[in-house]
């Protein structure tokens, strides 16, 4: 059986990178896999979260998954903290992963910055919890954006070490699914920096809930260069902003970068930006409308998460028991 697990943190507004790099791909994979899509609230608290905001963001991410087209009847949508097996398996995997492995994680280095001594232990152990998320369900495939590749390699190393330490072929070796033309959407203010929820500038990202006016304004103000648009991807050399905006266009219109270059190459940014913002609005606006409709009914969204968690617990229970037996834990 092919099973997918993926997650998004409820830590602020979802943006175009989350949509194109992750959520849209999930929607496209749901016919071929059994899927678990998780709002990873336990990962979120590795840095401080305002409690009321965390609750609101958890519902918002769930609503975004639903609005983008994930089917909660066929697949599981839930928030991580409702299934205690994540924390239980994470502890066991904390004892499998090596300090040296975690020390190499670039996301920790970026997030902890100069204040490493002051970062939470949870932020450091974050990738072990992520491995637990996936392995708790013996998921085989994990669709994510490019930035999560290193964490998935770590999950593979952890699974392999657990299997070889115990001599039991318990965990599958997970395959990352990183595909599409927008696996790494960059900031609108700087084509060399990832579009991210934590960028202090709101103009750096397009949020899934931005109004048509906001989207137009942000794209109009997006950084460019003085040259005409390149006629082929070879012309992206040294022009990260052109590469990013044309890549976004390709992803939103479901065409290739080559197509976008042949259509807009030689033209000016100003005309292209107008087309890009119309396109972005046409894709995001219906999702935003549906999200708002869903969020007006928190009882419905909470019900989806509760039922999802129940189904997730049923899938996790036998795996957790198998792990406990394998390492010699007595259990009920």
Please give the residue ranges that form the binding site for ligand AMP (CB under 6 A): 8-9, 17-18, 21-22, 144-145, 147-148, 183-185, 194-197
| 178 vs 248 by CB, closer to ligand TRP | 178
18 binds, among ligand TRP, ligand AMP, none (CB under 5 to 8 A by kind): ligand AMP
Rounded (5°) CA angle 243-112-128: 90
How far apart (Å, rounded) are the C-alpha atoms in residues 332 and 321? Answer: 9
Q: Which of the following is catalytic: 111, 161, 217, 223?
A: 111
Instruction: Compute the least distance from the CB of residue 26 to ligand TRP, in Å.
Output: 10
Instruction: Identify the residue among 97, 105, 125, 142 touching ligand TRP (CB under 6 A).
Output: 142
Q: Which of the following is catalytic: 161, 197, 217, 223?
A: 197
How far apart (Å, rounded) are the C-alpha atoms in residues 261 and 246? Answer: 7
161 binds, among ligand TRP, ligand AMP, none (CB under 5 to 8 A by kind): none
70 binds, among ligand TRP, ligand AMP, none (CB under 5 to 8 A by kind): none
Helix residue spans in the chain (DSSP H): 16-18, 24-29, 41-44, 51-68, 85-94, 99-103, 106-112, 121-135, 149-166, 212-221, 240-253, 257-264, 269-295, 298-327
Mask: binding to ligand TRP, 9-48, rule CB under 6 A, as x and -? x------------------------------x--x-----
Q: 5 phi and psi, to 5 degrees?
A: -130, 135
Catalytic annotation present for 218: no
224 binds, among ligand TRP, ligand AMP, none (CB under 5 to 8 A by kind): none
Q: 208 phi and psi, to 5 degrees?
A: -65, -20
Catalytic annotation present for 194: yes
DSSP string covering 77-115:
EEEGGG-THHHHHHHHHHTTS-HHHHHT-HHHHHHHTT-
Instruction: Compute the least distance from the CB of residue 6 to ligand TRP, in Å.
Output: 4
> Sheet harboring 3-8: ordered strands across?
76-79, 34-39, 3-8, 141-143, 175-177
Closest CA to 42 of 27, 58, 64: 58
Q: Is the C-alpha dihedral spanning 219, 221, 223, 226 positive or negative?
A: positive
| 142 vs 295 by CB, closer to ligand TRP | 142
Q: Which stretch binds ligand TRP (CB under 6 A): 59-67, 128-136, 163-171, 309-317?
A: 128-136
Length of the chain: 332
Residue 187 interacting with ligand TRP (CB under 6 A): no
Q: Which of the following is catalytic: 2, 138, 149, 194?
A: 194
Q: 3-class SS at 256? A: coil
Which residues from 238-277 bind ligand TRP, rule CB under 6 A? none
Instruction: Compute the least distance from the CB of residue 144 to ligand AMP, in Å.
Output: 3
Residue 138 interacting with ligand TRP (CB under 6 A): no
Q: 3-class SS at 68? A: helix
DSSP string covering 177-217:
E--SS-SSPBPSS-TTSB--TT-S-GGG--BTT--HHHHHH
Instruction: Compute the least distance from the CB of residue 194 to ligand AMP, in Å.
Output: 5
Catalytic annotation present for 223: no
| 162 vs 288 by CB, closer to ligand AMP | 288
Under the rule (CB under 6 A), what is the footprint of ligand TRP?
5-7, 9, 40, 43, 130, 133-134, 142, 144, 148, 151
Residues classed as catalytic: 111, 194, 197
């Amino acid at each position: 059986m092919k099973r997918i697990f993926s997650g998004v943190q409820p830590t602020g507004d979802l943006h175009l990178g989350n949509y194109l790099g992750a959520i849209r791909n999930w929607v496209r994979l749901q016919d071929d896999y059994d899927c678990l899509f998780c709002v990873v609230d336990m990962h979120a608290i590795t840095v401080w979260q305002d409690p009321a905001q965390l609750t609101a963001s958890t519902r918002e991410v769930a609503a975004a998954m639903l609005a983008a087209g994930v089917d909660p009847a066929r697949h599981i949508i839930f928030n991580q903290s409702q299934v205690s097996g994540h924390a239980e398996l994470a502890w066991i995997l904390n004892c499998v992963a090596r300090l040296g492995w975690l020390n190499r994680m670039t996301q920790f280095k970026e997030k902890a910055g100069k204040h490493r001594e002051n970062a939470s232990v949870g932020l450091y152990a974050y990738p072990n919890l992520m491995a637990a998320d996936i392995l708790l369900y013996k998921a085989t495939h994990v669709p994510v954006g490019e930035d999560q590749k290193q964490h998935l390699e770590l999950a593979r190393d952890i699974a392999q070490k657990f299997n070889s330490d115990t001599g039991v072929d318990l965990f599958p070796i997970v395959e990352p699914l990183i595909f599409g033309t927008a696996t790494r959407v960059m900031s609108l203010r700087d084509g060399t920096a990832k579009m991210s929820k934590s960028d202090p500038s709101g103009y750096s990202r397009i949020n899934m809930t931005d109004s048509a006016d906001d989207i137009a304004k942000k794209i109009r103000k997006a950084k460019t260069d003085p040259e005409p648009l390149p006629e082929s991807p070879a012309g992206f050399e040294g022009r990260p902003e052109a590469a990013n905006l044309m890549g976004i266009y390709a992803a939103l219109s479901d065409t290739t970068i080559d197509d976008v270059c042949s259509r807009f190459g030689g033209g000016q940014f100003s005309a292209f930006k107008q087309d890009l913002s119309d396109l972005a609005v046409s894709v995001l606006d219906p999702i935003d409308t549906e999200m708002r409709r869903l969020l007006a009914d928190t009882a419905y969204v909470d019900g989806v998460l509760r039922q999802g968690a129940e189904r997730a617990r049923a899938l996790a229970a036998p795996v957790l028991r198998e792990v406990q037996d394998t390492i010699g834990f007595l259990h009920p």
